Chain A
Amino acid sequence: MPTSDSEDFESADEGHGSPVKKERKKRLSSSNYSDNALETDQKSHNTQNLTNSLNKSVEKEGTDGWDDFEIDENEPVSLNVPPSATKVEKKDTKVTNEETMIKESKKSQDTGWDDFDDWGDDEYCSNIQKTEPHKTQSHSLQPDPDIKAVTDRLAAASTGGSSAGWGWGWSVDSLLSTATAGFTNITSQVSQGISTVLETSIGAPDPEELARRNIKEREDESKTSKEESLTPKEVPENKEKDNGEAFQFGSLLSGVTKFVETTSTKVISGGLDTLETIGKKTMAVLEDGDPGLAKKRALLGLGTGDKPVLSQVLREAKAKADEEDKIKEEKREAKEVHYENLFDDFEGLVHLEALEMLSKQVSMRIEERLSGVASEKRQDMKETLQQVAELCEMPEEDDDDEEPPSEDMSKPDVLHERLQTATQDLGLKLQFQPLVKQYKEVLDYVTSDSEATVKAIYKRAVSGLAQATALSVEQYHKAAEMLLVKTRRSTADEADALTQMTVVLTKHISELATLFTEKLNSLPADNKAQTNNYITNIFLEAGNSSTYIQNAFQLALPILQIGAV
């Protein structure tokens, strides 16, 4: 342990002419330095003990209201909570508390000095000046400025305390309040209640003295600014500490421990014991005849007076939330049955976009080729392109009934077979399973006996159509990509295959629409107009779907054409 700390401590204590202080110093010294050898042996042990006792007391803090000491020491006014404060404002109040606490941590520091000033010693200034160089020195010696800062502050506080007249309990309190300012979590309301009691029950300074101290404090503000230059570092630290006492206390402890190693462990643990006793006593006094502090809480404006306001605010908030929920729900529903959004969700749009990009790219290449050949050849090329385009025209609605599907085949299997038959000359391996699977799901849905509302069926219909369309569009996109990397092109076959595929797919869409509308019609209609409206919409969306599919097919045309020129 560097000696700088003890020097620092000593210097802070030196210069007090008062015999009483000398006496105190002696006491301090005796515990601190006289039995140095002994202490070295016990050091780790003592530190351990202190750590434990500190931990204990801090854990208790939450319930014991240790922080009331700081409040007691500072102007209670700063913690006044207007009785009108409602719970809704609690958040604000908390913030204020936090600020207050930070102030407090500074203040308690001031108070430390102040106490000692109060002691009637006029050497305050010279003390500070004397202390200062030592401090600078110790700073340069200390590897960790943060820990040093804490130690300094603790030293300062305890020095002040040691010369103050309120006894050990009090001086350690000011030390502790510095150390624990960041941990205070008890609401200010409760704290104030405690402080009120405390002032009367423990030997707290009387108002006169408080006033005197306040004046002094103001006078000393410029002097203490040196001290405060240390505090900014602490402030964010303190804020953090509010989040989880146990954890951050550990980091602070290292500082405390360090300090303690050079000062008196006995003094502090003794002081802590005293504090603990006072705290327990305080709570006992407070709770006497008022279990759970219910009455005091009520007194402090958390009681019945606020209830109408609070409940009203809550009711309004609830109404507002309900309204927002309703709007959200409506929007969600609107989105849910919005075909384009669903089509996008099933990646139909992005496949269409990608297919469009390919289509444009290939069209440009065709144009390049056209402009790059002699005029008579160009005519041939144009004719070829035209022929391919004609091959891709959709056949007239052919009513020649396809061979009726064999009895032992399920509808999805029939679809699969038709798609494969249609595309067998394409020379590519397209993956139709997703389409077949989706068809199966739709069939399961419409044939199930489960109760479904008209609206639910309608939603499922729009979604089903959007999904089938997206999956179809994907087929054109994939086909286009694979055709472009295909080594041997047979444009006529490819064109015919894609045309056949388009026929199958658009028929499939009609089939899906029919399935859903039949399901709707099978329900007992309590609102026939609404059902009819839904049915009309389903057929509209089916038409929409067919258009998307045919557009996709047309986008694939240049890819077919380029294989021929």
Chain B
Amino acid sequence: MGVGKSCLLHQFTDKKFMADCPHTIGVEFGTRIIEVAGQKIKLQIWDTAGQERFRAVTRSYYRGAAGALMVYDITRRSTYNHLSSWLTDTRNLTNPSTVIFLIGNKSDLDAQRDVTYEEAKQFADENGLMFVEASAKTGQNVEEAFLETAKKIYQSIQDGRLDLNAAESGVQHKPASPGRPLAAPPAARDNCAC
């Protein structure tokens, strides 16, 4: 059983909960066009496999991510304990400007909670991560997590922290293409602790 990365993505792109979702092989993709500050933005989300055997493979995909969502399961402390190792990978393999968002998934299973909100919040604060508890099942905070990440990426671009012209910014500007989103796609790599 995973922490629910694919379910979070599915909830975000299709607004549905996938009750039994197979293990992700390598990486799967999801896209959604959102609007930030009046700009249409195509988010391309890379949903990476959480299984340890794919770790070497998924490490190849970190490069060029504009944002990363790190997910643990609030009902299983082991997934929370792995966070620092995933964070190390994320920091080592992405740009310093990559936005990292921490999600405590399965917030609907509060009775089985194994990690307190406060504890995770403190971890997030100490590491400069944005943080919410969410539920892929109920949809609670799912939208917020992805949209906040996108907004933060957008801000980074506005502030000049993220250089669009850099080869690995993870963001492409597509003004010329007719009918296409203006700024596309902050490839947010969906990461995880499993």
Residues of A participating in the B interface, judged by any CB pair closer than 8 Å: 328, 331-332, 334-335, 341, 347, 350-351, 354, 357-358, 360-361, 477-478, 481-482, 484-485
Contacts and interface: CB of A to CB of B under 8 A. Distances in A.
Contacts of A482: 25-26
Contacts of B180: 335, 341
Contacts of A328: 179
10 closest pairs, A vs B, by CB? Answer: A481-B26, A331-B178, A361-B60, A335-B179, A485-B53, A357-B60, A331-B179, A358-B60, A350-B29, A484-B57
14 contacts: A331-B179, A332-B178, A334-B178, A341-B177, A351-B29, A354-B46, A357-B61, A358-B57, A478-B25, A478-B26, A481-B26, A481-B27, A481-B57, A484-B56
Given A350-B29, A477-B26, A478-B26, A485 B57 contact: yes
A203 to B, nearest CB: 54
Interface residues on B, range: 10 to 19
Nearest to B187: A350
Contacts of A334: 178
Contacts of A357: 60-61, 63
Interface string B18-62: 000000011101010000000000001010000001101101110
A14 B192 CA distance: 74
Contact of B61 (A335, A347, A354): A354
Nearest to B58: A481
A331 B46 CA distance: 29
Interface of B: 25-27, 29, 31, 44, 46, 53-54, 56-57, 59-61, 63, 177-180
Contacts of A350: 29, 44, 46
A358 B59 CA distance: 9
Nearest to A480: B26
- Which of B26, B63, B180 has the largest number of chain A CB atoms within 10 A? B26
Contacts of A361: 59-60
Given A357-B63, A482-B26, 5 more contacts: A334-B178, A358-B57, A481-B26, A482-B25, A485-B53
A563 B180 CA distance: 41
Contacts of B31: 347
Nearest to A477: B26
A354 B63 CA distance: 10
A485 B29 contact: no
Contacts of B56: 484-485
A347 B29 contact: yes
A481 B177 contact: no
A485 to B, nearest CB: 5
Contact of B27 (A331, A354, A484): A354
Contacts of A481: 25-27, 54, 57
Contacts of A335: 177-180
Nearest to A336: B179
B16 to A, nearest CB: 19
Contacts of B59: 361
A415 B53 CA distance: 32
B87 to A, nearest CB: 21
A484 B61 CA distance: 14
- Which of A334, A358, A485 has the largest number of chain B CB atoms within 10 A? A485
A358 B27 CA distance: 11
A347 B46 CA distance: 11
Contacts of A360: 60
A334 B27 CA distance: 31
A238 B159 CA distance: 37
A320 to B, nearest CB: 19
Contacts of A478: 25-26
- Which of B44, B46, B61, B178 has the largest number of chain A CB atoms within 10 A? B178
